[in-house]
Amino acid sequence: MSVLVAKGIRKTYGSLEVLKGVDLSVGAGETFAIIGPNGAGKTTLFKVLTGEVSAQGGSVSFDGKDVTRLPAFVRARMGFGRTFQVARVFGELSIFTNVVLAIEARKVNGGESCGRWWDWRPSADTSDEARSLLESVGLGRQGDEEAGLLSHGDKKRLEFAVTLAGKPRILMLDEPTAGMSAADRKSTTNLLRDLKAKGITIIMTEHDMDVIFDLADRLMVLNYGAVVSQGDPVTVREDEMVKQVYLGKGVGHA
């Protein structure tokens, strides 16, 4: 069954048509990757799916419900989790508070209690959950540090923890390994594989072909706002058109 379905997405910025009627359908538990050269419209498509920008045409539905007109925060409450190309964390706050925030937001939106109303500190369950989430992304020891002082890779990890704290049903990852060292890339890939095993649906854009062929069940190639090819990674890799526009002559790296 399809969790996320988009039909005929069109988006223009002024006279520039960025998306020219894109269709996609992602099944429950599937890992779906969107690739394409710079300027192909990946990030715009992403933003349309998450609700950050509205499209001029087409529809998006999640779990059979039409969400085309719903703003991002409502979609987030429905189970969209998102990370950004350049990790966005709340830099002035501690690492721990970043995660606490996300847990508390989830609890409030789900109608759960966040502990005693008069107590300004996070409740014991919230703190425990935050600590174990940080542990799971390898930031367990640094909780009190200011999030803004983290390295790029660690910010990405923290953003993951923050996103996972929302217990998303679908993860939208915009280049999850961009700018990472090889070791960080490896650990992120492992983390994603674990999430995938837990049955979380993942949609991602990515430049690193190793990561994609490692994780993706299905692949969509976008060029100039149109779908060039779609299918399982092996088939797509052999597609002549794709080789031309994106992969280059038989090289596995973009």
Burial of 3 from C-beta contacts in 10 A (0-12 / 13-18 / 19+): buried
* Helix 152-165 and helix 182-197, axial crossing angle in degrees, nearest 10: 10
Whole-number Å distance between alpha carbons of 76 and 172: 11
Q: Which residue, 127 or 243, is less far from other proteins as judged by CB?
A: 127
Minimum CB separation of residue 8 from other proteins in Å reads: 25
> Which residues from 155-184 bind other proteins, rule CB under 8 A?
162-163, 166
Burial of 174 from C-beta contacts in 10 A (0-12 / 13-18 / 19+): buried
Candidates 32, 46, 62, 80; binder of other proteins (CB under 8 A) is: 80
Candidates 36, 41, 122, 176; binder of other proteins (CB under 8 A) is: 122
* Interaction of residue 76 with other proteins, rule CB under 8 A: yes
**DSSP code of 123?**
P
Whole-number Å distance between alpha carbons of 123 and 117: 10
Sign of CA dihedral 34, 23, 56, 228: positive
Beta bridge partners of 81: 171
Minimum CB separation of residue 51 from other proteins in Å reads: 9
Between 28 and 67, how does the x/- string for binding to other proteins read (CB under 8 A)? ----------------------x-x---------------
Candidates 8, 66, 69, 73; binder of other proteins (CB under 8 A) is: 73
**Which among 25-33, 88-96, 181-189, 214-222 is the span making contact with other proteins, rule CB under 8 A?**
88-96
Residue ranges binding other proteins (CB under 8 A): 50, 52, 71-73, 76-77, 80-82, 84, 88-93, 97, 100-102, 104-106, 108-109, 114, 118-120, 122, 162-163, 166
